């Protein structure tokens, strides 16, 4: 069963690329006492993720901030190096954090893992967006199949 509105995020550790190399970041580090937008993509550098999904949050960062969002977090089942380079390629700057769920442990823990082996991509995360307040999910938008509709930055902004 996947995570639902009203559920607390499970304890998990992501990896973040830093100047000193990959650094662990726990869900407590990221979400405790903050309002955070979290969105996941099936893969860094993939077409829909790069052309539509990530830009929809990057370009709306100021609007999210004005609506009380403390931070925007992008995650994917990729390693910290890939996520860091993807953030640079997409010019995210300080608009969001790029966190790697390298082994898919977080995606699995929240029940939103995706078997993309038919595309040669192995285990991944489903495409979704959520609003999290102090570690509790208050909005959740999970895409069906290969769709890109309800997980966009614009859609989540309309829910705030």
Kindly give, in sequence order, each residue whose CB lies less than 8 Å from that of residue 58, ignoring residues fewer than 6 positions away.
Answer: 72, 90, 91, 92, 95, 96
Q: Which CATH architecture has domain 13-149?
A: 3-Layer(aba) Sandwich (3.40)
Q: Which of 36-50, 68-82, 116-130, 143-157: highest mean pLDDT?
A: 68-82
Where are the domains positioned within the chain? 13-149
Amino acid 124: pLDDT: 66
Q: Which of 49, 69, 92, 114 is catalytic?
A: 49
Amino acid 127: pLDDT: 87
Q: Which tens digit of pLDDT belongs to each residue from 75-133?
A: 999 999 999 999 999 999 999 999 999 999 999 999 988 655 666 565 667 789 999 99
Residue with tokens 């959740």: 140
pTM confidence score: 0.92
- Bridge-based pairing of strands 71-76 and 35-41 is parallel
**With pLDDT > 70 as the criterion, what percentage of the chain qualifies?**
93
SS3 assignment, position 97: strand
Residue with tokens 């893992």: 113
> Average pLDDT over the chain, rounded to whole?
91
Amino acid 1: pLDDT: 74
Does 49 qualify as catalytic in the annotation? yes
Number of alpha carbons in the 13 Å side-chain half-sphere of residue 85: 8
């Amino acid at each position: 069963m996947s995570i639902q509105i009203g559920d607390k995020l499970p304890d998990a550790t992501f990896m973040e690329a830093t100047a000193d190399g990959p650094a662990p970041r726990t869900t407590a580090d990221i979400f405790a006492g903050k309002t955070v937008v979290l969105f996941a993509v099936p893969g860094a550098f993939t077409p829909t993720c790069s052309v539509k999904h990530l830009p929809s949050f990057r370009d709306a960062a100021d609007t999210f901030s004005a609506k009380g969002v403390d931070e925007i977090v992008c995650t994917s089942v990729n390693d910290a190096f890939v996520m860091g380079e993807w953030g640079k390629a997409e010019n995210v700057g300080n608009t969001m954090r790029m966190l790697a769920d390298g082994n898919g442990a977080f995606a699995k823990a929240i029940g939103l893992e995706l078997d993309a082996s038919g595309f040669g991509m192995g285990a991944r995360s489903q495409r979704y967006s959520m609003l999290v307040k102090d570690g509790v999910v208050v909005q959740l938008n999970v895409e069906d199949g290969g769709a890109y509709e309800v997980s966009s930055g614009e859609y989540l902004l309309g829910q705030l």
